[in-house]
A and B are shown apart, each in its own frame.
Chain A
Amino acid sequence: MVATRKYADEPSGPFPRPPDSFEDGDGRTIELVAPTEVDEAVLEDVVAMYDAFDPVDRAQGIPPTGEQRIRNWLESIVDIGINVIASHEGDIIGHATLVPDSDDPAAIEAASDIEWELAIFVLQDYQRAGIGTQLLEHLLGHAAEVGIERVWLTVERWNGAAIALYERVGFEQTGGESFEQEMTIRLE
């Protein structure tokens, strides 16, 4: 893949790392973990979270709807990516993930050679309580720990709340010539 995205010269960070827990804006205790391997049981819990996700908040086609399509999508990204999962009282309520731009195992292993695409979803009942910021920061902390340096994402241009969230943790707006706003961050 041609590296065309622009990244800041100065890295952002340091960011907190999972495992961690915090109290959200509504007084709920939220646990953050980064499973080294997403086994069958964890995968099914994540599928259940996305199945409960209101599709009004889907972005650029993800998450898909319907349990089987959600499972197929997750199976295509969780094993090659890195993941941070947010739970409340044992139920998964948020998921943030980075997926490599390459499907070459050696490049993925090296991590810093390639770019990683970010996505984050928080169940509607848990939004606007500061969980997204925590989840995002811990994902970036975990990413830096495994050697990832360049992270990018796209967000629908009208989604000011999401763009503001990404800017708060250090993302900068890059290429702006299509419907989606591209944003990038360089990690330490």
Chain B
Amino acid sequence: MKVLLGLAGSDESIKTLRRTIERTAAVGDDLTVVVVDKPETKRSQEEMREQAESLLSEAGIETDVETLEGDPGSALVNFTEQGEFDQLVIGGGTVSPMGKIRLGPIAEFVLLNAPTTVKLVR
């Protein structure tokens, strides 16, 4: 399956990356990774790209990590459409101190606009 993984710079993105690496290693998906331009995240776009590349290479997965400019949700959906991916994987929400699941604006935009299957990683 041709899978696109979209990352921002949060800890949620790191978790999503690790889970997707496990899954890719197990089933042999064709994985492409992109890092969106989301300001005010823990890691800059470049830091996230470097971290993703090192985790992927540690796991023996050969793939480039690209960076996307512009509005994160829109850029992700565009890239998915243009690249004819079967599935778009993104972080599936953070959990508040109370334990409530929260979905951010990127996830909401992607869910309502992506023509492909979207996987939310929790």
Q: Which residues of A contact B (CB under 8 A)?
A: 59-62, 64, 73, 76-77, 97, 99-101, 117-119, 154, 177-180
Which has the most chain A C-beta neighbours within 10 Å: B96, B98, B108? B98
8 closest Cβ pairs, A-B complex: A60-B100, A61-B101, A177-B105, A99-B97, A117-B98, A60-B101, A99-B98, A62-B99
Please determine whether A179 and B100 come into contact, CB atoms closer than 8 angstroms. Answer: no
Please determine whether A77 and B100 come into contact, CB atoms closer than 8 angstroms. Answer: no
Residue numbers in A under 8 Å from B98 (CB-CB): 62, 77, 97, 99, 117-119
What is the CB-to-nearest-CB distance from A99 to chain B, in angstroms, rounded to a whole number? 5
Q: Which residues of B contact A (CB under 8 A)?
A: 95-105, 107-108
Please determine whether B102 and A60 come into contact, CB atoms closer than 8 angstroms. Answer: yes
Total contacts A-B at CB 8 Å: 45
Please determine whether B100 and A62 come into contact, CB atoms closer than 8 angstroms. Answer: yes
What is the CB-to-nearest-CB distance from A28 to chain B, in angstroms, rounded to a whole number? 28
Please determine whether B97 and A178 come into contact, CB atoms closer than 8 angstroms. Answer: no
What is the CB-to-nearest-CB distance from B107 to chain A, in angstroms, rounded to a whole number? 8
Residue numbers in A under 8 Å from B108 (CB-CB): 178-179
Query: Which of A76, A77, A118, A178 is close to B102, meaning CB atoms less than 8 Å apart?
Result: A178
- How many angstroms from the CA of A77 to the CA of B101 in the assembled complex? 15
Query: Which of A61, A118, A180 is close to B99, meaning CB atoms less than 8 Å apart?
Result: A61
Please determine whether B99 and A154 come into contact, CB atoms closer than 8 angstroms. Answer: no
Residue numbers in B under 8 Å from A101 (CB-CB): 97
What is the CB-to-nearest-CB distance from A118 to chain B, in angstroms, rounded to a whole number? 8
What is the CB-to-nearest-CB distance from A116 to chain B, in angstroms, rounded to a whole number? 9
